Amino acid sequence: MIEIKGLRKTYRSRGREVRAVDGVDLTVGEGDVYGVLGQSGAGKSTLLRCVNMLERPDAGTITVGGVDLTALNRKGLRLARHGIGMIHQHFALLSSRTVAGNIAFALEVTGVPRSARKERVAELIELVGLGGRADAYPAQLSGGQKQRVGIARALAARPQVLLSDEATSALDPETTDSILRLLQDLNQRLGLTILLITHEMDVVKKICHSAAVMRDGAFVESGPVAELLHRPGSTLARGLFPLSAPATLPGRTVVDVTVSGPDADTALTGLARNFDISLLEGSVETLAATRAGRWRIALPEDGTAAVEFLRARGAQVEAAA
């Protein structure tokens, strides 16, 4: 659904050059929820703003739904953007308009006739769970409700793709969960493809099927979450399952073990039945992409047989670090 090749964007300010996006390739399949994780300054916002051409890249191609956006003229781009909704951290609502008015505004700018707007607005209000709040003004809404208006507005023109720019970063954990559940529901019910940027591991854990870790304008790893978990040295695996127990113990071999899929629930019992091990830290969790477990385990000093046992069951095993 989204195909990005060789994307570059450099900013020049006060004689200084900043390579905000430095050669990114990205494929987001139809119906995928794809998260780009990275610290502040990594280049996430620039990448996202290039996807709908709010920012024009210096090099590379951006294809959304089969259309190369970099090849379009201004009018073509305006039409193509109707197929790409966007939500923001700070909601960007019009304070002088009600919930219904904010959503209707998105329909006005995409040329939906007045007669059709009312019904579509009502439909969108229900879709995002804001029934009964149509006449409220943004100042009367909670953060979560404001983001629901943002989502309704972004979906007004029935886009196939939703871009999310840190949509939950300004919300408390409970509200974050409810917005993530809404996004997941929209992904499943409408088949909406979602590309989101975030600095929160939890967002990836809860709704992303695929993810990339971005640093200094480039992806250091990317792919399906279940696959990344099994990649040796994966930053994502370490971020999703942080392990801080001692990485060395006298007379023992300490390893970090990752298992995903149904084996995540049985791998440890099997290991403990066959070998003298100590579980130092870790957990099994349900991620959006898969059930997965990651543990730091002390094996006997010669851990070869235990490591083989785990690897034969599809586990990723590496020296604790």
Q: Which is nearer to ligand ATP, 20 or 280 (CB)?
A: 20
Minimum Å gap between C-beta 215 and ligand ATP is: 9
Q: Which residue in the set 20, 127, 128, 161 belongs to the binding site for ligand ATP (CB under 6 A)?
A: 20
CB of 155 to ligand ATP, least distance (A): 23
Number of residues in contact with ligand ATP under rule CB under 6 A: 12
CA 44 to CA 46: how far, in whole Å?
5
- Between vectors from CA 195 to CA 142 and to CA 6, what angle results, nearest 5°? 145
CA atoms within 13 A on the CB side of 11: 12
In angstroms, the Cα distances linking 155 to 25, 90, 195 are: 26, 17, 14
Distances, alpha carbon 121 to alpha carbons 90, 105, 116, 234, 296, in Å? 22, 10, 9, 44, 51
Query: In terms of CB distance, is 43 or 101 closer to ligand ATP?
Result: 43
Which of 20, 297 has the CB closer to ligand ATP?
20
CB of 214 to ligand ATP, least distance (A): 7
Alpha carbon distance 212, 75 (integer Å): 32
Smallest separation, CB 48 to ligand ATP (Å): 8
Q: What whole-number distance in Å separates Cα of residue 181 and Cα of residue 199?
A: 18
In the bound state with ligand ATP, the residue whose beta carbon lies nearer, of 144 and 217, is: 217
Bridge partners (DSSP) of residue 199 are none
Q: Please name the residue that has the structure tokens 């990836």.
A: 204
Phi, psi of 214 (to 5 degrees): -110, 135
Minimum Å gap between C-beta 146 and ligand ATP is 20
Which amino acid, residue 200?
E
User: Which CB atom, from 24 or from 28, has the smaller least distance to ligand ATP?
Assistant: 24
Least distance CB 15 / ligand ATP (angstroms): 12
Separation between Cα atoms, residue 91 and residue 260, nearest integer Å: 36
Q: Which is nearer to ligand ATP, 9 or 252 (CB)?
A: 9
* Tokens 């329909």, residue located: 107
Residue 216 lies near ligand ATP (rule: CB under 6 A): no
Residues 62-121 that bind ligand ATP (CB under 6 A): none
Q: Nearest distance from residue 243's CB to ligand ATP, in Å? A: 26
Q: Considering beta carbons, is residue 203 or 292 the nearer one to ligand ATP?
A: 203
Residue 24-63 contact track with ligand ATP, rule CB under 6 A, x = bound: --------------x-xxxxxxx-----------------
Phi and psi, residue 141, nearest 5°: -105, 155
Distance CA 62, CA 83 (A): 14
Residue ranges that bind ligand ATP, judged by CB under 6 A: 11, 13, 18, 20, 38, 40-46
